[in-house]
Structure 1
Amino acid sequence: MKKLGLIGGLGPESTVEYYQKIISKYQERVGTKEDLPEFLINSINMYKVFELIDSNQINGLTDYLTDAVKKLEQIGADYAAISANTPHIVFDQVQERVQIPMISIVEETYQAVQEKGLQRIGLLGTKFTMEHDFFKTPFSENDKTIVVPTASEQSYIHEKIVKELENGIVNEQTKADYIDIINRMIDEKNVEGIILGCTELPMILKDDDLDILLFNTTEIHISKIVETMFN
């Protein structure tokens, strides 16, 4: 069985969810609660990642994440995954510099949207995910449209992710505001689905909150991670 190397800490709350759900999905796959997957976690500093991106130190971010994956390589990981959307800004650059294959949360989310046949999809996440093109590229290359909130809405979403969700705080007013933003995107931009492009967003937005498909990038990523253990 292949051994996973997981880059965590991006942030801590979602890393806990990755850990628990990887175990749960693995046990579903093997059909028993009396077995556990053996895998490796390298927990790095979310705030350092944000600082590097905010100051446009893309090479520094690549170095930081490459070093994190290489440490997992050295202790026996057969493949790797980064438990967050934002660091995928440099996913391709990191993959080029490491020996083991990596599973992209962006590519797996694109495949999930493709399976549903949607053409116009809304994207929520950190300001870095919404501002940069790394998440939008596979969609635009295949004639699909990614729609993001307004600049002021992006700032609000990002602030609440960093100050609340990254610290495990689920605020009902924030949830209501997020839902209002999504409903505006449905009404004004005709989006057919919403990508929860931050691994903390499923803490606050659930499938039954909205009359639209939500793509939980955490769930999508974890499903592929566990599948790869057996391949």
Structure 2
Amino acid sequence: MHIGLIGGIGPAATIAYYNNLVFEFRKAGLPLELTIVHADVTTLISNAGSDNREAQAAVFVKHLRQLKAAGCDVAAITALTGHFCFNETLSQSPLPLLSAIEAIDRYCEDQGISIVGLLGSPPVLSSRLFGQLRNTNCVVPKSNPEELGRDYLEMATSGVCSELTRQKFLNAGADMVAEQKAEAILLAGTDLALAFDGQSPGYKTIDALAIHINALLSLARR
């Protein structure tokens, strides 16, 4: 199976997708055939911020056609923010498109998790993951969600997480667990690994990127 990724949104997440795909496919003893196209993260941030779904879908469809021409069999968008126009993109896509949010919803249901706390970009937080979680309830930070969203965008575009920003995310997760009964914190932004990797926050976290990778791996095993 030839996998196509729409990458660049942001760069750190794209690298994480690549590294994790290589590792997981090697561990499974499966060959990895992979093509990545580069999308512009500032265009995505602008379109998602204004909820311009058709414009961003047109960008993604152009990249999906490139992946189709490269021989890909299935494609994935490497940013949860990019899922704000998932349905609009899917309706025009020349390739099957594997949703990270659907995979997250299935994972939570399988694990018996009914409430998750969200960390991610402003559109992810304000829309509660674009209303695409069907079987899982979600809560968002009560304290300074706009500031947390801006911090996420800065981290995603720069590929760097300061210690101050890391502590903001860790504390926001702890607050959602303590005050809003979140059973786990969903790292609903693929760049959040920059803040959480190597940390022991004291609560369960769900890595959206890892779940998406596992969904691609499961598809390759069929």
TM over 0.5: yes
Compute the displacement of 1:149 (Å). 1.2
- Cα distance in 2, alignment partners of residues 207 and 109 from structure 1: 22
- Cα distance in 1, alignment partners of residues 131 and 81 from structure 2: 12
- Cα distance in 2, alignment partners of residues 54 and 162 from structure 1: 11
**Aligned equivalent of 2:138, options 121, 124, 146:** 146
- Cα distance in 1, alignment partners of residues 28 and 191 from structure 2: 25
The change in CA–CA distance for 1:182 and 1:134 in structure 2 (over 3 A counts) is: closer
- Determine helix, strand or coil for the equivalent of 2:117: strand
- Report what 1:50 is aligned to: 45
- Determine helix, strand or coil for the equivalent of 1:215: strand
- Report what 2:85 is aligned to: 90
Residue type at the aligned position of 1:104 = S
CA contact (8 A) 2:74 2:95 kept: yes
- After superposing on structure 2, the runs of 4+ consecutive aligned residues of structure 1 that deviate more than 6 Å are none
CA contact (8 A) 1:106 1:135 kept: no
CA contact (8 A) 2:125 2:149 kept: no
- Aligned pair count? 222
Residue pairs, 1:141-180, within 5 angstroms = 142=135, 144-150=136-142, 153-180=144-171
CA contact (8 A) 2:10 2:156 kept: no
Structure 1: which 5+ residue stretches go unaligned? none
Q: For 1:47-70, what per-residue CA distance to the aligned partner results, in whole angstroms no more than 9, with x for missing partners? A: 011111223322111111111112
- Determine helix, strand or coil for the equivalent of 1:110: helix
The two structures, once aligned, show a CA RMSD in angstroms of 1.8
Moved more, 185-194 or 80-89: 185-194
Residue type at the aligned position of 1:204 = A
Compute the displacement of 1:189 (Å). 0.8
Residue type at the aligned position of 2:112 = G
- Cα distance in 2, alignment partners of residues 121 and 56 from structure 1: 24
CA contact (8 A) 1:80 1:101 kept: yes
Structure 2: which 5+ residue stretches go unaligned? none
- Report what 1:68 is aligned to: 63
Q: For 1:103-155, what per-residue CA distance to the aligned partner results, in whole angstroms no more than 9, with x for missing partners? A: 1110111111111111221111100111125444333xx3x4210113x6222
TM-score (norm 2): 0.92
CA contact (8 A) 1:153 1:181 kept: no
Percent identity between the two aligned chains: 23
Matched, 1:181 2:180: no
- Determine helix, strand or coil for the equivalent of 2:110: helix
- Determine helix, strand or coil for the equivalent of 1:200: helix
